[in-house]
Structure 1
Amino acid sequence: MVVSSAYQAAALMSVISFAGALVFVGCGRLASKFGIDDAKAVSFFDATCLTLAATAMIGDACLHLIPETFEGTDEETADRYGVLLVTGVVAVLAFEKICDACNTGTIEPFGVANLLVEGLHNFADGMALQVAWNLNREAGVATTIAVAVHELPQELGDFAVLRRAGFATGPLLAANFVASLTCFGGVALAASPWVASREAEMVAFTAGSFLALALHSLAPRALATLDEAATSQGRAVRAAWLLALVLGVVRFLQFVGELEHAVPAAEESSSGFGSFFSRGKEL
């Protein structure tokens, strides 16, 4: 891996933002090569990626962000984080309703919400990267790998989410790339005591927004794609595939969690969100 600083790691995350488009193009070419109907291929791809996005968001929130945010907190602090988590849920639902009431274009509100939530999440990733690289190269590389591998399924899902929301391919790639650039902001601001001391609060809010976006907007649309199968047998096959995908993503996220904590104890203070929180709380 040719990465030697937090800024280069952030640049790598921006490159990963194009993963969804590359996979979509590759799948389209494979479908054409094997004579698969374009409409069926697009429907199947959307079902797969919407499920991927919803599962990645729910898994990231429940397996990583929430447990590590609340780890080692006292009752008063836990209550504050809980309020922020619920605030994140309400904020996404309210934002979608406001956009729905004001929207006169072709972009669905959940697509805009997805971009904002991803930008916030990338910002937190940037902060974790900066803290890790400040400690030493080994911790920086370990954290870069951990962030990269959990970004991959997220970006694959984001592409399908934004397509489903009505974005054309060009604006979609541009908007998703801009959202990825907030990682640089996280790197730049990680040294600020004011920002670092509030990082746990920000991620509690992000976890709530992940849950709201996944359960309210993405999961229902993923399930709705089952009805796009032409036959009951096709729906059964697609449902089995989506269930297998969910289980696979959950196991993958568990692996990411193991990777984040694979750094030796002396370096563990910067290998992932949870340890970064403990540093922030001490400031």
Structure 2
Amino acid sequence: MSGMTILAAILAASLLGGVLSVLAAGFVAFQARATWVPVLVSYAIGALLGAAFLEIIPEAFESGASAQSMAATVLFGILLFFVLEKLVLWRHCHGEECEAHGTHTHEETTSGHHYGHDGHDHGRSGLMITVGDTFHNFVDGILIAAAFLTDFKLGVVTALAIIAHEIPQEVGDFLILLHSGYTKRQAILLNLLSSVATLVGGVLAYYLLGTMKEVVPYVLGLAAASMIYVAVADLIPGLHKRPELHATAQQVVLISLGIGSIWLTKVLLGDLA
């Protein structure tokens, strides 16, 4: 596959991923947030774990990485994303007394249980959310580019997994922006502008990683670490807020569907390859 075709795929995945996730999140946030968000979160967990363990890590091994170096890369990545989260750069803020979320955690916000206080905070939370999202989207662009540079099929699966977890995150971010005093139109525009960072990250990674093929397996390892960390540290704790048997069964089914969709995508793309 030619370099221009790969670049076009990276551009398309970055643009579609950002726009679709923002628009879908906007629809959910304003139309059916109370009932849809928990479903989206459970599905996103499955999609993230499926992409990490069924596609990205195996592909990194096939690209020449040893088991020891890949294990170390994933371990380093998990620690790295923990530190970034602590610095309010990776996934905003999760403290019990967090300014960006009032007195509620991100999981409570995105799970549909709480939507902040009635008063506004004069845009402070909204600014933090926008900065954090921009950095997050930039990293997503790098991950998409690294996947496409390794294998077209892997790129598609990675893009789908990123979109799947972006939607529930964007829903929570919309609600925080509204709480911060922004209008619905301003919230959509801010998130769309932030999504441009995905395109920037993808293009930069294409030109930099394209000349450094030996680095790609380790970028894939970091991609897997980011997906595992987001699923296990950020999203799964929110599911434990619903310990009822029927809720647990629903979550298991939806997580399985998320994993299954990644597996099915892998099989279908493999048949088409």
Q: TM-score range by the shorter chain?
A: 0.5 to 0.7
Identity of matched residues, %: 13
Give the alignment partner of residue 245 of structure 1, picking from 254, 259, 270.
254
Flag structure 1 segments of 5+ consecutive residues without an equivalent.
32-40, 133-139, 228-234, 265-283
Q: Which residue in the other structure is 2:10 paired with? A: 10
Separation of aligned partners in 1, 2:42 and 2:266 = 20
Alignment partner of 1:66 out of 36, 54, 57: 57
Matched, 1:53 2:62: no
TM-score by length of 2: 0.67
Q: Quick check: which has more Rg, 1 or 2?
A: 1
Alignment correspondent of 1:281: none
Structure 1: distance between partners of 2:139 and 2:154: 18
C-alpha separation in 2, matches of 1:197 and 1:184: 18
8 A Cα contact 1:92 1:212, kept in partner: yes
TM superposition shift of 1:212: 1.6
Q: Flag structure 2 segments of 5+ consecutive residues without an equivalent.
A: 108-128, 179-186
- Which amino acid letter does the alignment assign opposite residue 22 of structure 1? L
Task: Please say if residues 96 and 113 of structure 1, whose CA atoms lie closer than 8 Å, have aligned partners that are also in contact.
Answer: no
Task: Indicate whether 1:210 and 2:211 are aligned.
Answer: no
Contact kept, 8 Å, 1:84 with 1:201, in 2: the verdict is yes
8 Å CA contact 2:46–2:258 kept in 1: the answer is yes
Q: State the Cα distance separating 1:253 from its structure 2 match.
A: 0.4
Quickly say closer, same or farther: Cα 1:208–1:236, change in 2 above 3 A: same
Aligned-residue Cα RMSD (Å) equals: 3.7
| 1:87 match | 76
Instruction: Confirm whether residue 200 of structure 1 aligns to residue 191 of structure 2.
Output: no
> Hey, what's the Cα distance between the residues in 1 that align with 2:140 and 2:87?
22
Aligned residues: 230
Deviation string, structure 1 residues 216-260 (Cα, Å, up to 9, x no partner): 111112443x38xxxxxxx66554443332121111100122234
Q: Give matches, 1:150-189, under 5 Å.
A: 150-160=161-171, 162-163=173-174, 166-167=176-177, 169-170=187-188, 171-189=190-208
Q: Which TM-score applies when normalising by structure 1?
A: 0.65
Is 2:265 the counterpart of 1:256? yes
CA contact (8 A) 2:42 2:251 kept: yes
Decide whether the 8 Å contact of 1:66 with 1:204 is kept in 2: yes
- What secondary structure sits across from 2:100 in the alignment? coil
Change (3 A) 1:66 1:163: farther
Name the CA distance, whole Å, in 2 between partners of 1:206 and 1:147. 9
Question: Alpha-carbon deviation of 1:215?
Answer: 0.6
Match of 2:123 in 1: none
Distance apart, 1:177 and its partner CA: 3.3
